[in-house]
Amino acid sequence: MLDLLDPPIGADPERVAAFPMRPTYRANGGEDRWAIKALESELALVAIAPQGTRNDQLNRSAHALFRLVVAGRLYQDLVERGLLAAARHAGLSESEARRTIASAARARGAAA
């Protein structure tokens, strides 16, 4: 079940298929299937966000994922790298994406 990721309704299947959403490791050395599924889903939402909604979607997804970082369910660097890759895939500039990600991390208490 973890290997299946349903794209949101109306998502362009080519854009979804072009973005690699599988994380390579899990937080706390264990398997937290719910947190990994949440990560995959949020990264997919960011990666396929339409123009005009991309930064807002990145911000919402970052806030959701940093809650999981603070709870110890995901590694912060995994979340940050995933969000940045998804944002770049969606067409956001690296500097804009990094600012949004860092702002969400600070707001959720996950900033280094």
Rounded-to-integer distance, Cα 16 and Cα 64, Å: 20
| Ranges under pLDDT 70 in the chain | 1-31, 112
Question: Which pair of tokens denotes residue 85?
Answer: 């890759």
Cβ atoms of 19 and 39 within 8 Å: the answer is: no
Residue 46 pLDDT: 97
Please enumerate in sequence order all residues whose Cβ is within 8 A of that of 104, keeping only pairs 6 or more positions apart, or say none.
59, 62, 63, 66
Q: Which helix (H) or strand (E) holds 70?
A: helix 54-70
Residue 81 pLDDT: 95
Residue 111 pLDDT: 74
pTM: 0.75
